[in-house]
Amino acid sequence: MTRIQLSPAPAGLHGQLRVPGDKSISHRAVMLGALSKGRTTIDHFLLGQDCQHTIEAFRQLGVPINMVGDTVTIHGVGLTGLRQPAQALQMGNSGTTTRLMMGILAGQDFDTELVGDPSLSKRPMKRVSQPLSQFGARVLTSEGGTLPSTVVGQPLHAADVQLAVASAQVKSALIFAALQANGESTIREKLPTRDHTELMLRQFGADIQSSADRLTITVQPHPVLRGQHVLVPGDISSAAFFLAGAAITPHSSLTLQKVNLNPTRTGIIHVLQKMGAQIDIQPLASDGEPLGDITIQSSQLRSIDITATDVPAMVDELPLVALLAARAHGTSTITGASELRVKETDRIQTVTTTLRQLGVQVKELPDGWQITGRDAWKLQDPVFSSFGDHRLGMLVAIAALTSPTALSLDGAEAIDVSYPGFLADLRQISGGDQQ
């Protein structure tokens, strides 16, 4: 376990920064490139461990993939061209890889075992395996509904599925299964979730339609997918840490360049605006996902109330919303976020622990928090833990920017799962000594 020191940034955050490529889009670009005919080139690919596991899994499934820097070249084998791997596919810590692969592998003509690290092996997989069964899929899990899992490849039939949870991962797994079914399939959501899979599938040539309210998706089977060029925009989930840091750190003025502005992902921006942050967005021309430059200044924030309808557009950023609330005037309430209990950690519990260590008054709710903001941290203990969760590690680093003294972070290596260069980028804009 790695312990690092995290320094305050009394002069604030300044300059311009281009964050790494969007993780969700990087995963999906590899998957669709592998399932397409011809060559796919991905630029600004995220080099984090999660996305590396996706690449390695498809290599084991017989797909030629080359990497030079953050450019990935894939020679696709088509929807039916994957071959049985010689050993179990290692998912590492990546829930996205695992759940989407279940949908991809369900319609193949071979069986595949999926395994993961201890953290991933605690996360629920029946939320995917059960709805996939409506397509005739067989996804076997442990008795507790977790990894290891065996995907029994077999022919799939069309289905009309109502999702029980608002999860883009589950939805995407079902879409991949529907591509291999014997007829038109329909997937219905309770709340709209991020639509990267649908957008990218259309780019690659699939016939997939979404209703005006984005709650109903219709998928035509067996498309001929063609290799594409994919430019991965900056990950707003990564940019969100710096946006939050600049908002709460005095004397800050920071620009995040070429960030993904997909409306299913911009909940954190709307939260910052509602809380009174000084934020400006400049859209940029794009052939794919919408993107733009975001400039933010340090701001006096006010409290906010978040409910279940707000959650899908910022589920990964909710720990940061809790940190913003801890610095805002008044009492904020965040509810409808029970999904956070089945992430890399129980994030409701681990965020509560972290905020209390900062001296924040926080009440843990079954599906969120009630948080009373304060003007300055009142440290209870300067040694924090990442709990093995990349987002918690980065959260502590952002909290340290306004700390009265340096903080220590145990388990800092978890940050590399999604953002290997995070601490270096933080040093660049803060002039600090995060190491």
The SS3 call for residue 90 is strand
Give the torsion sign (CA, 208, 283, 237, 413): positive
The SS3 call for residue 169 is helix
Q: Is 293 marked active-site? A: no
DSSP H or E segment with residue 71: strand 71-77
Interaxial angle between packed helices 168-178 and 95-106, expressed in degrees from 0 to 180 and rounded to the nearest 10 = 20
Q: DSSP characters for 335-395?
A: -S-GGGGGSSS-HHHHHHHHHHHTT-EEEEETTEEEEE--SS---S-SEEE-TT-HHHHHH
Using alpha carbons only, give the angle 387, 391, 393 rounded to the nearest 5 degrees.
Answer: 55
Give the phi and the psi of residue 107 in degrees, each rounded to 5.
-100, 10
Sort strands 89-90 and 331-334 into parallel, antiparallel or unpaired: unpaired
CB-based contact 251:298 (threshold 8 Å)? yes
Q: DSSP characters for 28-67?
A: HHHHHHHTSEEEEEEES---SHHHHHHHHHHHHTT--EEE
Sort strands 331-334 and 305-306 into parallel, antiparallel or unpaired: parallel
Outline where 63-151 has alpha helix (H). Answer: 95-106, 126-132
Among the options 50, 117, 316, 410, which is catalytic? 316
Cis check: omega of the bond before 148, within 30 degrees of 0: yes
Based on DSSP, count helices (H) and strands (E) in the chain, helices before strands.
12, 23
Paired residues of 273 in beta bridges? none
Structure tokens at 206: 């699939």
What is the C-alpha to C-alpha distance for residues 249 and 399, in angstroms, rounded to an integer? 9
Closest CA to 414 of 382, 396, 387, 434: 387
Rg of the chain in Å (alpha carbons): 21
Catalytic residue positions? 316
